[in-house]
Amino acid sequence: MGAFRNGGSNYASPSMEDRRLWKHVHDNVHGNIYLDPLSLKFIDTEQFQRLRDLKQLGFTNMVYPGAVHSRFEHSLGVYWLAGNAVERLKAHQGLELDIDHSDIQTVKLAGLLHDVGHGPFSHLFEREFLPQVIPGCKWSHEEMSLNLIDYMVDEHNIDIDSGRLKKVKEMIVASENAPVKTSKEKLFLYDIVANGRNGIDVDKFDYIVRDSRACGLGCNFQFERLLDTMQVIDNEICYRAKEYLTVHKLFNTRADLHRTVYTHAKVKAVEMMFVDALVKADSYLCVSSFIDDPSQYWKLDDSILKTIETDDADELKESRDLIRRIRRRDLYQFCNEFTVPKDKLHHFKYVTPQDIICSQKSGGVTLREEDIAVSNVKIDFTRGTNNPLESINFFEDYNSKNKFTISKDQISHLLPEYNQDFLVRVYSKKPELVEVVSEAFENFQLKMYGMKAQVHGTPERKRCRVLL
């Protein structure tokens, strides 16, 4: 069985009699991706094609110029890996699991459509913009994906069984709402695209490798090893004990990408500037009103930046000026950052511009909230302060039907004691206020922690910029 598991990775290729109805594209991560007829009905809609105009990593290309890949290619990659995963389970445990064609199609569609409801510029739209214009807003791109799928089916008369459609939507939100356990349900299928049990899913497999490649970074996480060695025990996908460190690399690589790419200090500066521009433009463009209507929402993509930049309306002047500052690299100035001490993590509250202002000592300049931007960055292994590996079940060998968890102390004493970092970064929106903001930020740290938690000082060239 071991030799069979490691032989070939193209499980989801169509049979000879199917190829006339399938199409294929060549992906720079996975090679040939074969698209089945039902999936093509969704792909060949304006709602899905919109994903071509949503960059996977938002403004990250301002720092990593190669990071211009789209949600479209990521979605095709997740579709392909989802099909590979369920096909491998069928090949290894087909009679036992009773996986049929409908199961395979359902999982593939969930992978294909999981991001169809994403907003402009990655997660910025729902996490940064909407909370400012609609306080208390609970909107999520996953829920919009469900609404858009229903809209696409109705608008384009896509012939899909209602039971299958319901399962597709359940699999998309499985990470948020794990399905109710029942002995009759093939619950392991819900572990593939968006895993609510332990966070190991093909969505991460694709974006970790794809994002690393686009940014020119190495990636020593090999998702193929996990696909080759997974096995269903008690309705749950489990992994061979020997792959414990491979699983750890999944979460560790994801955390590294968050620190060095997704939350890069310059990337966050650009994001905060664009959010400010979008918030100021909302009363004129009414962007936030799109979130309640799928028939309007699908028209929203990254071109909103160009709309603001080129529209001559007086109502957009402040927003236009911010976009032009981004173009000219006149960004909000990073003053400094600190990592929240580990003994303060459980009681940490997000730092606000008001916190910094209240820490300013008397001086020649009085800071205002609109002078300061604060970025509170959480980096973890998907489970907050908890170790995600504690919720993963392993097995000893392929003949075993016993699953068990593994303590990290059984593996290595080099693995982290804590599984979460909180970084607080402070920016000055005006270059001439860098020194004042930096001093107020240092005072805040002394007041909160009795010390400066940052590991470096603000560069003198920034402090003295006003004099240049």
Instruction: Kindly report, residue by residue over 203-224, the tens digit of the pLDDT.
Output: 999 999 999 999 999 898 999 9
What was the pLDDT predicted at 468? 37
| R_g of the chain, CA atoms, integer Å | 24
- For residue 155, the one-letter residue type is E
Q: What is the Cα–Cα distance from 112 to 412, expressed in whole angstroms?
A: 37
Average pLDDT, the chain: 89
Determine the Cα angle at 416 with ends 413 and 419, to 5°. 150
Give the DSSP per-residue string, 327-382.
Answer: HTT-PPEEEEEEEPPGGGGGG-----HHHHHTTPPS-S----GGGEEEEEEEEESS
Q: How high is the pLDDT of residue 348?
A: 87
The predicted model scores a pTM of 0.91
Q: Quickly state the pLDDT bin for 386 (edges 50, 70, 90).
A: confident
pLDDT band of residue 6 (cuts 50, 70, 90) is very low
Q: In the Cβ-directed half-sphere of 437, how many Cα atoms lie within 13 Å? A: 33
Q: Which domains does the chain have, with CATH numbers?
A: 2-265 (1.10.3210.10), 333-381+419-468 (3.30.70.2760)
Beta strands across the sheet bearing 236-240: 231-233, 236-240, 394-395
Give pLDDT, residue 182. Answer: 45
Give percent of the chain with pLDDT exceeding 70. 88
Paired with 337 in beta bridges are: 425
**pLDDT, tens only, 194-205:** 998 889 999 999
Which pLDDT band, with edges at 50, 70 and 90, does 112 fall under?
Answer: very high
Q: What is the mean pLDDT of residues 409-427?
A: 78
Give the SS3 label for residue 61: helix
Look at phi and psi of residue 170 and say left if phi exceeds 0, alpha if psi is from -120 to 50, else beta.
Answer: alpha
- Mean pLDDT value across residues 178-191: 70
Q: Is 456 a catalytic residue?
A: no
Percent of the chain exceeding pLDDT 90 equals 74
Give yes or no for residue 255 having a pLDDT over 90.
yes
With bands split at pLDDT 50, 70 and 90, how would you rate the model's confidence at 7? very low
Selecting among 141, 248, 258, 347, the annotated active-site residue is 141
- pLDDT of amino acid 407: 81
Query: Hey, how many other C-beta atoms are within 10 angstroms of the C-beta on 343?
Result: 8
Q: In terms of C-beta density within 10 A (0-12 exposed, 13-18 middle, 19 or more buried), how is residue 115 classed?
A: buried
